[in-house]
Amino acid sequence: MGELDQPRLNLQIDEEATLAARAAWLYFAGGQTQGEIAEKLNVPNTKAHRLIARASRDGLIRVFVEGPIAGCVAFEEQLKAKFGLGHCEVVPNIDDGILPLRTLGMAGARYLRNVLDRALHGIIGVGHGRTLAAAIDFLPSSPAPHVKFVSLLGGLTRRFAANPYDVIHRLSERTGSEAYLLPVPFFANSVGDKAVLLSQFGIADVVALARQASLHLVGIGEVDNQGFITSAGMVSTSEIEDVARAGALGEVLGSFFDDQGRQVPTDLSARALAPDIELLRGRELVAIAGGRNKMKAIRAVLRSGLLTGLITDESTARQLTGEEPGVEPGSKNGGNAASA
């Protein structure tokens, strides 16, 4: 085994231990059936049985179920009730800070691997960004020839440079699946340019395929100069400042939302080469997001009611549920749009 393979194997073992502890909590403390656990954890029934057996065999119940994992499951239930989510996963932080990429990357990779194992989706639409890129970095080789991945938004910067956080090609490498890229900028120069680009041969086909996706995996962006879409060269500093002045705090697929979850119409979102976000309402839309700087952005998008699922870290969950003081909008530590 090579030097690069051993750490990835250890990560996979640690993820399985965490999943076994979660299954044990749901089974022994929550009184749920193996079928219910399989549905909640997004794994096959046979794997749910193996996870429960492993938790008992390895003594994970006492170590994890009575400790942090039980707390994470409690946060999941609170977030589902508070924001109307059908699916939520909260994982203990193994790193912290402004953006806990290792924690979120491992959680996102485990979720995606379980989705692929269950083979419920033939077409999966994906966004891009630092968190989704981290999830693909942690994804072990997971052959999934039955799945097609399609980009939900343009993958180039304003200068037509490659987006360093575009995940489509890496997904194809890890899964052996067909993957379809939108070789256009995230935002067109004008609404007219957007119409011309979307009508081009090939691009229109990718857009049509994206409309058929049964699962959409996205990130959530903050509206400030440190956010992904600005730092990656998708928009200019002045453009994002205009959006912030309009009251926007969070971004998903090029659409912007205020602190009450209302969509903020802007010239920028009108130029986004991405699906009309309202057309995705009611469809399976799962975000992988967390971190101190994204609190207002995540809350804004959650309040929109668009998300059906959220994968996040324990620190973020504490703030979203109000367990950690000073986090609600208007609180002393709330800050302004530029620090969302």
**DSSP assignment string, 311-328:** EEEHHHHHHHTT-SSS-S
Q: Domain check: are 45 and 130 in the same one?
A: no
Asked, for residue 141, whether it belongs to a domain, the answer is yes
Other Cβ atoms closer than 10 A to 17: 17
Asked, for residue 77, whether it belongs to a domain, the answer is no
Dist CA 116 CA 175 (whole Å): 9
Q: Domain check: are 129 and 261 in the same one?
A: yes
Dist CA 119 CA 144 (whole Å): 8
pLDDT in tens, 41-83: 889 999 988 888 887 776 555 433 334 477 788 999 999 999 9
The order of strands in the sheet holding 285-288 is: 87-91, 309-313, 285-288, 215-218, 123-126, 148-151, 178-180
What integer best gives the mean pLDDT of the chain?
83
Asked, for residue 203, whether it belongs to a domain, the answer is yes
pLDDT in tens, 220-273: 999 987 777 777 677 888 999 999 999 999 999 999 999 999 999 999 999 999
Let me know: does 268 contact 188? Beta carbons within 8 Å.
no
Identify the domain boundary among 18, 35, 66: 66
Q: Say which CATH number the domain at 262 has.
A: 3.40.50.1360
Dist CA 107 CA 126 (whole Å): 16
Asked, for residue 73, whether it belongs to a domain, the answer is no
pLDDT above 70: residue 161: no
Q: Which residues pair with 179 in a beta bridge?
A: 149
pLDDT above 50: residue 288: yes
Contacts of 287 (CB under 8 A, 6+ apart): 217, 218, 219, 220, 252, 298, 301, 307, 309, 310, 311
Q: Which pLDDT belongs to residue 155?
A: 75
pLDDT in tens, 262-287: 999 999 999 999 999 999 999 999 99
pLDDT above 50: residue 4: no
Q: Domain check: are 127 and 189 in the same one?
A: yes
Dist CA 260 CA 248 (whole Å): 10
CA angle 335, 338, 340 (to 5 degrees): 65
pLDDT above 60: residue 101: yes
pLDDT above 70: residue 164: no
Identify the domain boundary among 66, 98, 114: 66
Asked, for residue 237, whether it belongs to a domain, the answer is yes
Q: Domain check: are 60 and 149 in the same one?
A: no
Q: Domain check: are 45 and 165 in the same one?
A: no
Q: Which pLDDT belongs to residue 62?
A: 44
Q: Which pLDDT belongs to residue 230?
A: 77
Q: Which pLDDT belongs to residue 5?
A: 47
Tokens for 25? Answer: 């909590």
Q: Which pLDDT belongs to residue 212?
A: 95
Contacts of 61 (CB under 8 A, 6+ apart): 21, 24, 28, 55
121-145: average pLDDT: 91
Identify the domain boundary among 12, 38, 66: 66
- At 324, is the pLDDT very low, low, confident or very high (cuts 50, 70, 90)? low
Dist CA 159 CA 254 (whole Å): 18
266: helix, strand or coil: coil
Q: Domain check: are 97 and 59 in the same one?
A: no
Angstrom CA distances, 17 to 21, 45, 78, 108, stand at: 6, 17, 24, 16
Q: Domain check: are 38 and 148 in the same one?
A: no
Asked, for residue 149, whether it belongs to a domain, the answer is yes
Tokens for 67? Answer: 């400790």
164-190: average pLDDT: 86
- At 337, is the pLDDT very low, low, confident or very high (cuts 50, 70, 90)? very low
294-314: average pLDDT: 96
Q: Say which CATH number the domain at 40 has.
A: 1.10.10
Q: Domain check: are 61 and 91 in the same one?
A: no
pLDDT above 70: residue 131: yes
**Pairwise pLDDT comparison (32 vs 198), residue with the higher score:** 198
Dist CA 170 CA 176 (whole Å): 10
Q: Domain check: are 40 and 128 in the same one?
A: no
Q: Which pLDDT belongs to residue 328?
A: 47
Dist CA 205 CA 77 (whole Å): 39
Domain that holds residue 56: 1-66
pLDDT above 70: residue 117: yes
Asked, for residue 60, whether it belongs to a domain, the answer is yes
Dist CA 55 CA 163 (whole Å): 41
> What is the count of structural domains for the chain?
2
Q: Domain check: are 48 and 97 in the same one?
A: no
Q: Which pLDDT belongs to residue 26?
A: 81
Look-up of token digits 């009730």? 81
Let me know: does 337 contact 259? Beta carbons within 8 Å.
no
Crossing angle of helices 101-118 and 130-138, rounded to 10°: 60
Other Cβ atoms closer than 10 A to 133: 20
Q: Domain check: are 96 and 52 in the same one?
A: no
Q: Which pLDDT belongs to residue 330?
A: 40
Q: Domain check: are 25 and 117 in the same one?
A: no
Asked, for residue 280, whether it belongs to a domain, the answer is yes
